[in-house]
Structure 1
Amino acid sequence: MPETRDDWEERLKEYLSANDLRLTRQRHLIAEAFFETDGHPNIDELYLRVRRRAPHIGQATVYRTLRLLVDSGLAASSRFGGAATRYEASDEDSHHDHMICTECGSITEFNNEAIERLQEEVARKHGFAMHSHKMELYGLCRKCSEREPGSPEPPKEAR
């Protein structure tokens, strides 16, 4: 994730300028709302957050701005288990993987150096020049796995 507000603003301005685009007030507000969001919002969740600040901004504008953030390398998109596309701030210096709860939808980021080394070793053994990878583990989070059988289902969370 960009270190500070100045970091993402500067990188976004550079990207937009290189593509003959401007950092409009709407784009800035949407990017600001995105970088202030913890977790992995989908388009609807970010749109609701933006609408609280600026009711005049449409969902299409939010979507187009998210595409610009992804294209600029400031954000990454993922579809966990075929659900709605979720977005997160890109962090070029820190790789992480995800655990997705199939009950409540929570997403937990993790990094394990032993797993990373093992993946590199497997790729090397097969003569595969790995450029990147992503790992997604699906199952029940601690809260859902500890829930009593027959108790009401927790609300779907988006993280």
Structure 2
Amino acid sequence: MQNGYKTKSRSYIMEFFTAHKEQIVSAADIHHYLEENGKQVNLATIYRNLDKMTDEGILLKYKTAKDEHAVYQYTDGHPECHEHLHLQCVRCGRVIHLECGFMKDIRAHLEEHHGFALECSSSVLYGMCRECKEMESGSHEKNHE
């Protein structure tokens, strides 16, 4: 799947994604990171590379619910990203891949009972990851002492 032309800009963008594997990010996030690290890549070039990488299956592209901006997720190590839901922590931004047999049950239920065919590649459920919940409950316990 990875058959794109290798440019310096593309390699910078890939460096970013390999360092942020479990996050969903915007083009602006990438641009800001590259600028902070002394790597000058204009925003149009970033968008062009993101589109190519999405077409090649390297990235998934989502629209945010709040403002309809595009955000991207690296699919490294998760070749079935198009077949499962993604869970994103609203506190730390971490993305969890719901890679379990439960996905078949969810899809079957939605189809059978609601006549709905789930499109997983653009589906993100928002909530709080275990680590953030534990941190939050630990801080609440301290506040109640």
Q: Which segments of 5 or more consecutive residues in structure 2 lack a partner in the other structure?
A: none
Does the CA-based 8 Å contact 2:84-2:97 persist in structure 1?
Answer: yes
- The code of the aligned residue for 1:101 comes to C
Percentage of pairs with the same residue: 21
Residue aligning to 1:38: 21
Aligned pair 1:100/2:88, yes or no? yes
Indicate if the aligned counterparts of 1:96 and 1:111 stay in contact, CA closer than 8 A.
yes
Q: 1:68: how far off?
A: 1.9
Q: TM-score, normalised by structure 2?
A: 0.64
The Cα shift of 1:60 comes to 2.5
Gaps of 5+ in 1: 1-6, 14-22, 153-159
Which string of whole-angstrom CA distances, capped at 9 and with x for unpartnered residues, describes residues 29-50 of structure 1?
Answer: 3345434531223223322343
1:149 maps onto 2:140 in alignment: yes
Quick one: distance in 2 between partners of 1:104 and 1:92? Answer: 24
The 8 Å contact of residues 86 and 95 in structure 2, kept in 1 or not, is answered as yes
More divergent stretch after superposition (58-67 vs 43-52): 43-52
TM-score by length of 1: 0.59
Where 1:143 maps in the other structure, the secondary structure is helix
Measure the CA separation in 1 of the matches of 2:11 and 2:90: 34
Deviation at 1:131, TM superposition (A): 7.5
Alpha-carbon distance in 2 for matches of 1:28, 1:86: 19
Distance of aligned partners of 1:121 and 1:78 in 2 relative to their CA distance in 1, 3 Å threshold: same
Matched with 1:47 is 31
- The structural deviation recorded for 1:113 is 0.9
The residue number in structure 1 matching 2:42 is 58
**For 2:108, which of 120, 129, 139 is the aligned residue?**
120
CA 1:82–1:41 in structure 2 vs 1: closer, same or farther (change >3 Å)?
same
User: What is the CA–CA distance in structure 2 between the aligned matches of 1:27 and 1:41, rounded to whole Å?
Assistant: 16
